[in-house]
Every structure is written in C-alpha cells, then in structure tokens.
Structure 1
C-alpha cells in the first residue's frame, strides 16, 4: 500500500506541474516605472531567481503617468493585477491609512531597517511601521554643463537664484546655436510638470494651499514662478517642451543639447555615466534654485522615493516581501556596484551608502544629493496644512494636480496665457476643495 500511495502522489504531482518534494512555483507580477534604475534592476534579477528558483518575476514596465493611473485604479478597486507595486511618498501614507497596503514587517534579520535615511523611512511609514521599501530616493538639484559655463565666462553660485538661471540660459542660448539654454519638465501630470512647478513656486514663498486650505494659484509667488518658467521654456528651451518629462530631458541632456536642467537628484548618476552621456566629463551640480537670495520654504527641495509595496489583497505576500527585501537591501547595492560601478547604485535610501568611501569618491554628486534630501521637510507647517513639498498628501491632489498640470502645459505650448492658466487652475482648485469639504 505504501508503494501504491507513493506512485499515486507522484502522478498527482506530475499532473499539477510539480515534482515530489518541490514547492510550487509562484510568479510575481510587478508594476514599475520605466526609469533607468528600474530597468537596471530588471537586468540583474537573475541573481534573485537563482537564489529563489520557486519565485518567477513578470514585469509590467510603464511610463510614469500611466503607472500612477494603473496602480491607483487597481488598488482602489481591489483589482488584483499586481503582487508588487512601485509607488511613492505621496501614495504610501494615504493608502496605508485606507488599509490598502500590507505592512513590511518581515524583511529579514539582515535587512537593517534602521539604516534607511530617517526622512525616507518616515515618509514610507505609518505609526512607525514601514509600508513600502525605498528602491531609490531623491530631492531636486541643478545639473549644468561646466564647459559651456566656462566658455561663457559664467560661474555657478553656491546658491543660484532663478534670475541668475534665466540670465545664464539667455547667454548660453545666444552663444550656441545647437544647445538649449535650459531644459525643464513640461509634460502635464501631478508628478511631472507639477512636481517641478510646485517646487519652483515654493522657492517664491507659495504653496498649493494656504493654512486655511485656500488654493494659492492666484498668489504673487505662483504668478512670478509660472511667468518665469514659461519665459525660459519658450525662449531658451527645446521645441515641444510641453511634452517633455524626466526621461525626455535626460535624453536631451545626455546628447549635449541642454546647458542646464533642474530636476531629480537621481539624474546625476546617468548624466555622469560615460556609457550613457556624451557630456559625462563636463557636468556640475548645484542646489535647486531659489526665487530670492534668502530662499523661503527650505530651499524648495522636493522629497520622493520610488518604492516597492504589496497591495493588501495579494495572495503572494510572502514571496512578494522576499523580493522587496532583496531589491532594496544593502546586498543589492553591492550587486549593482559590482556590475555597474558604485556611482550607478540606486541613491538616497541608506545612511551607510553615504558613509561608504568607495561610493562618495566615485559619485561626485553624493554630497549634494544627501544635503538636498536632508534639507527637505515635508511636514505640516504654519503656512501649509498638508504633508508634502512638491505635492500635497491628500487624496484629491492626484486628480487636481494633473488637471492643473494640463493648464500649465497649455501655457508653455502657447495655447493659453499664463494669466489664463493660473486663473483656470485657481477656479478648478477652489471648486474641488469646496466639493471635498476642505473649504466651508
């Protein structure tokens, strides 16, 4: 009878697609963004599947705006399309409050949660519990061509203002027929052009909402910021700038077409990589510009982390957490360093990375990146009632920010004046905030 039972068990296992003594294989579907660090991770995941042959990975790689729409729809409707989602510091506190995410409380003894940079760990936690693990984190900085500045006799100050940036863009544009003086985000989206514009407006002392939740798009700060932004984009930027987001501007900069680019600190490793950038030897770094000499609002730095999280409805939570632990670990940073060099490891997540002399010596942007992240304070303050810098961490902001971003893109393309765009943005924001009950 024992032999007969073993034979039956073996047959059943074969029909089920497994072998006796082997665990069933699971496939994790992972939604992620088409940024360079994420693409690099996909190329290195053979190291994970070799360690975990029972876990296979199915990647769904999407453009930034599309990713945000897909994962938001899926988790809000409990669609179950994804086992792991790539989300950011905007979604985590809201979704954790709604019980849409599983806590990451079993990342392993050697994961070292305490090594995560405090500002990033706090932004991805609720009541002290981590709900997403940061793959890379960023603030904002100025990237510029040192050779073009030298040729024009311009010196980048330690704390540039927007007036300085605008004048430098003019001088370099006039002196170079084949180089745009400045490249900035124009693609509409709450995390695209509005991430940039929200930060620029903050550098002029404005926020999305004042302490009473009144929208501020009709304020002097927003008017000054958007007027200057449109002027620079129109006169010194590339054609079709209203369609350019992070990836498009990265390509232009790496091709040597941009003299200056104000964007995420994570861009630094790509523009200094000679395998990807034609200008890698001629890139300098400075803080994100201020609107005035003594910049209000903490220098207008933003704070963001593309992070991996598990939707609460996942049926593969254990395998998902195993992968997240691997992809956001110290060991993964060492794997990237071994294959791509220390300057190409995902930045901004771990204190130990910035204590690593190999990294700081190979990454000329390391000090500037860490300073920008540490300078960012997304907490509620006297002049703003919401958590967030380049965004407002309220559920309504996702739709509102994208709608306003479309008005700003229209101003860049010339189909609407700055005054019209801001007036339309203000009206839409007042209407939405009143409907949602923030304004009585």
Structure 2
C-alpha cells in the first residue's frame, strides 16, 4: 500500500540537488559528446536574461499559485517565464503540433506522458540520479522511461473520490457514513434526490480515469505490467450501476454524450446544487472552498471488492529539443522543492508527491479544505497498488479513452454493456502492443 511505501522512504535522506557549472553554457552538459552525463554546478546568475516557455493547463486555484511561484523564480534567476494557459482538452494536440513544427515548449504540465515519452528530456544529468528519491515511488513510477531514466517530475498527486452536498443530505435526513458500499452510496443518493427534488442522484466527470476508480473498487484494472488486465465480469458489475443511472437520467445522460470523446468535468452540476453526490477528485477542493454556496464535504470512496480511489497527478517535463534544457530542469526543480511544492498544493487543493511533505503533512487554506484533503489522504492509504501500476502504464491513457468511447456507445444505445467491454478488451490488447513496441 502507499502508506507502506511512504514509511519505507520517510527515513531516507533527500537526494542532493545538483545543477550545472559555469564552465558550461546554460543548456550544455560537460561530457555530452563523449556520452558521459556528469552533473555539475551552475550559479543562478548564469541563467540571467534567458526566457522560458511554460505550457500549462489549470484546475482553478492552482493558476494563481503558479503565477506567484513564477514571479519568485523570475526575480531570483533574472529570467522571463512565458506562461501559456490552454484548456486541458487542447493540451495534448497543441503540444504535439508544436513538437512536429520544431517549436517545443521548454516546460509543459501533463497528466500523462504517453504521447511524448520518446521526446522528453532526460532529467538525471541535470538533477542527479538520486533526485527521484525525494518523491513517493508511486508517482515516480510513471515518470521513468524504459531505460530507467527520469523524464518528468511528479508535481502533485491526485486521488479520485466523491463529494457530497451536505445541505441536501441534511434536508433529506440522510446520514453520510464513515464507510459505505457502492450499493449503499447509490441508495443514499437516490433517497436524497427523491426527498429534495434535485434533477440528479449522482454525477461524475466524463473521464476514463474516473471510470477506472469504479473498476479498481470492483477489483480490476485496464492494464498492468503484464498487459491487458481487464476482468470483463468485474468490469460489467462495476459499470452496470452507472449505465442504469444514466438510462433513467438519475445521472446526467446528455452531459455524458454531449462532449463526444473529450473529457468533461461535472463540477458545475455539483456547484449548481443539482446532485447530492459528485465523483471527481481532490483538485476540486480549492474551487469548492471558494465558490460553493452550500456546505459540502469529501466523502470516503465506496467499497466493493476493494476500497480506496484511483491515483493520478500532474507531471512537469521538458523536451530533448527544448531551447534551454538546463533552465527548464532548474525551473522544474525550483517548483518542486519542499517549500514551493507545499505552497502550491496547499493553495490549489492538491496532494504532495514529495516524501518529506507526505510524511510531515500539509496545512491547507481553510477548515473545509483541510477536512477534505484528510479524507483523500485516508483513501490514499487503502488504494490498491495496482492503481499506481495501471496509471503509470503507457497503455493506460489510450485504454482509458477507449473505455469512455465504449461506455458512451452503451449509454447512447448503440451497444450492450458486455459486448462493449469485450470490444474494449480487444482494443487494449492492440494498445498494449503499440505502446510497448
């Protein structure tokens, strides 16, 4: 479990942070031509006058926290950071277009490295071979390439889980328990819906990642180290309640079908008070703390065969063809040292990826946010290791997209659930082969 991994690493001394020397120009490594990758030191003033491009998407409050940290970095290093904020749905396409045109950003924020893994800058020569030990092994596992090189830094950890509208539950006279099964959660949601007259009993983001939460709790994953890991019987049991809810429009059917295959968040439905339960993740905490007009809380994930949620997170990465790789690596290091990562996650409602912050805890901005993050941390402790393994697998992201497409076909009446899952399994086989070649 993640807690055992955390304890095992908590006593390890943090790897020393290493930079390049002034004997090399910024972005150049001693020994590159001979194949050596010796880490040297470089003073901050050697970056003075350079410009760095940071391609970014935002979940909400994290944008201002990022801008504040960028301002500090610019002042300390006498550089300019050009922050380009894109909608999450456009991030991959835009980044791929820039790569194909020979104009990669210096740094990019990503949720998956699958589309870019072969193009990413290897960070070990800039940050040191021991740098990865500063971070929890689960998040780091997704940032290592086939040659065991660090090609990204996990900048925050996410955990999927449900939020509840406490006011609606109280109005309906329904308790939110300390633990519940999937059946108990759906029964409670429908009881609140019936008592209060809200349009929906349940909502969740249109996301293969969120659907993987349900699969994990029913004891199956899309992929593992051996390839296709989908148990069709368990997947059918996991997804049947969601399909049935959408068939009755107790879960918003049009919302699921309206965005094609693209990710869509259901946070506005929850904020409008239209559903008592919303399955999303901890990145919503900052927004809800600032915008919700009702009492809300994070609730524990429901259990089936397993408990816990499904892990994810963001990575900061650079590209091998970036104009200023040394500056990019130093920016990534700066944003993810203990002081600055704590500042970022405490404001934005994220979970830390560093071993020291995970062991010592983070103080969040207000009482509601702290309580919610404590709930997500508790779920992290009982989340199966198979979730980290699946999320870090190169075949996970395209398999999750295929999962969304197949569920959409079922919701739209084009397929029955089991044949859709059988088709999905065949697609996963192909995707595993493609991503491992």
Interval containing the TM-score (normalised by the shorter chain)? 0.7 to 0.9
Does structure 1 residue 172 correspond to structure 2 residue 192?
Answer: yes
Aligned-residue CA RMSD (Å):
3.7
- 8 Å contact kept, 1:183–1:238: yes
Contact 1:285-1:368 within 8 A present in 2 as well: yes
CA contact 2:158–2:312 (8 Å) conserved in 1: yes
Residue aligning to 1:367:
374
Matched, 1:30 2:50: no
User: Which moved further from structure 2: 134-143 or 33-42?
Assistant: 33-42
1:198 partnered with 2:212: yes
Post-superposition offset of 1:102:
2.0
The 3 A distance-change label for structure 1 pair 69 and 159 is farther
Contact 2:123–2:329 (Cα < 8 Å) also in 1: no
Structure 2 gap segments, 5+ residues each:
1-44
Map 1:170-319 to 2 at 5 A. 170-186=190-206, 193-209=207-223, 213=227, 216=230, 219-234=232-247, 235-242=249-256, 243=258, 248-271=265-288, 273=289, 275-279=290-294, 282-291=295-304, 295-296=305-306, 299=307, 301-319=309-327
Deviation string 1:343-382 (CA, Å, 9 cap, x unpaired) is 54543323436635744974112322223334344459xx
Contact 1:184-1:233 within 8 A present in 2 as well: no
Distance in 2 separating the partners of 1:343 and 1:182? 28
Give the whole-Å Cα distance in 2 for the aligned partners of 1:435 and 1:358.
43
- Which secondary structure state, in structure 1, belongs to the residue aligned with residue 357 of structure 2? helix
State the distance in 2 between where 1:348 and 1:306 align: 11
Partner Cα distance (1:211, 1:47) in 2: 41
1:183 positional shift: 1.0
- CA 1:139 to 1:205, structure 2 compared with 1: closer, same or farther past 3 Å? same
Q: Output one character per residue of 1:200-256: Cα deviation in whole Å (capped at 9) or x when no partner.
A: 122222222588645636x21111122111122343223522147876312222232
| Aligned CA distance change for structure 1 residues 216 and 357 (closer, same or farther; 3 Å) | closer
**Residue 348 in 1 paired to residue 371 in 2?**
no
Q: In the aligned structure 2, how far is the partner of 1:403 from the partner of 1:59?
A: 32
Mapped to 2, the partners of 1:73 and 1:373 lie a distance apart of 36
Q: CA–CA distance in 2 between the matches of 1:29 and 1:437?
A: 31
Query: How do residues 44-63 of structure 1 correspond to structure 2 at under 5 angstroms?
Result: 44=68, 45-53=70-78, 55-63=79-87
* Map of 2:105 onto structure 1: 82
CA distance in 2, matches of 1:172, 1:222: 27
Change over 3 Å in CA distance of 1:81–1:250 after alignment to 2: same
Q: Please list the CA deviations of residues 263-322 of structure 1 after superposition, one character each: whole Å capped at 9, or x if unmatched.
A: 222222322x1x32222xx2222222222xxx33xx252222202111122220122123
For 1:428 and 1:358, how far apart are their aligned partners in 2?
43
Distance 2:131 2:124 in 1: 13
Cα deviation, residue 197, structure 1: 1.7
TM-score (norm 1): 0.73
Rounded Cα–Cα distance in structure 2 between residues aligned with 1:73 and 1:398: 19
1:324 counterpart = 2:318: no
Structure with higher Rg: it is 1
Tell me which residue corresponds to 2:143. Answer: 124
Residue 177 of structure 1 deviates from its aligned partner by 2.9
Asked if the contact 1:119–1:374 (Cα under 8 Å) also holds between the matched residues in 2, the reply is: no
Q: Single out whichever of 420-429 and 145-154 deviates more from structure 2.
A: 420-429
